[in-house]
Structure 1
């Protein structure tokens, strides 16, 4: 029967018969026996670990242990953590402002003298308040301001030696009193809005008065000599005298200030009022009460926002005696990227005991005082 089936299959598919030979009965029996033995071995094997327990163990491994800390990396604006400095804790984030100024009783420091007698008559006479130079550095913050001011102001008056007003070589005897001031001030806001702010004032001032100075007196001496020798101008020359002893004074004051900002139509008005009081003591032990008040106003128009007109007036009394001062100033500002430059020019009047003492000899103790300067904000 096996032979008959084989012949039938070969006759119908001769090609396939050449390529495929079916397994023999012996081969099929061997495969069946081996499969049976392998099934018995697998079924009789004891599992090493229960599958459910294994899954629970894996789950426990990825759970967060008790007390584990989790950290995250955060990208900051500046790329690093920045603690506030002592200044920022006092006045908040701030910009810097540097002001350089100079003043003279002659307009443009004598620039009119080349324009004839009529123009020259508008100038001063080097008596009373005659020259000053100053430097002011300010940190203007969101919560207050810190200001450091250095100033040297000179007061002059004619003097005589042995009854003579001049030296043999034609120089006039002059008593020149130089007043040098270092002023440190902190303003701290206690109330602030877009239209107004209120602030506390704390101020420390050191004043040095001397006849033998080399700041404002040195500049005046050099300037007069330069104009005569280098420019050929007929400028008066002085022989400086020492008539009074030096005086050093420390002043500490506190007070309060208020500022308003208001738009009046196309005009923007900024007003500030301040009041201060304290005490001063010189190195000889003399003490004085100090009281001062000041009002400022700044006005600009929307069509020319870079141009501003400012006025100020102040009054007070203390170690330097009673007095009042005031001025008017025009400024124009231009911004270059992150830097703003603001030149200014102004005229002031000073009615203090020092102005009267050194200017009364000429009969004009309270002259116009001309101011030039520039402010750089960055």
Structure 2
């Protein structure tokens, strides 16, 4: 295929994300104009059409489930809906699986931004000129959320058997230290080296969905302190220390909603309400749950959360399923659903896996 609207939008995405990470106030939200650019460019090029496939349907479902909350005029609901709508709408109007993209150049820009941020702005654990590193304490002079998109691209290279590129990306991810990204990456690698028949079981969307439902219960039990003694005996640290404050955060969220399991089977508190509850409890403007799955359970209820998880993992090829399991694991301990630099890269990579396997051809 010749150079078309898909590749043009791809470069615009790359530029917008790069600008948003330069630390300039008025460029910080440059990624949020992408839907308008995508629609305009698609109309101008004659490529405008709705692109429904297995990669973007889960997020469209999530947006539909979020719409009733808009009537409450809650700022956190509006913000979360906008965050999800940005990357969803881009992929709703542009089908990137029709073209092959230069992901290596994209990852090169991400690595540049990683070191640019650390050298110019520093990190919570140093200036970046000297290395402070502890996996258990989640401390690194180079810590950055850019570890997430770099891990996604690195996993793409692993799944497409480009071992050297995968290893290089993994080393950078270890340096940027997002523990869940490292753990999720290694879990997919382990699943990939076991016999294919067993691999299919682990990547089965029904198995993954049931596992996530169980891990949601584990997160709640963790918040209530059921694993405190075990964690102290294994790591000589409290559960709250080991989780970087997540235990107390989740406990306050559950306490704030007067949690009772049966009340959240069908309905939730409304999209964005997990943040509203935490803000009222902690008195902080900028606070996140650091658990997308638990947030969705609280906000849209167990049933809708399960459907969402199933839709994400119900991909055709094993490579796409492996990538879907990876992002689902990230959802368990972080807020990547609202990160454009994570979700845009995830959907781009899934589109490239679909391109490689031809899995979207019958949906066009």
| Same-fold call, TM cutoff 0.5 | no
- Which structure features the higher share of helix residues? 2
Q: TM range, normalised to the smaller chain?
A: under 0.3
Higher RCO structure, 1 or 2 (CA under 8 Å, sep 6+): 2
| TM-score when normalising by structure 1 | 0.20
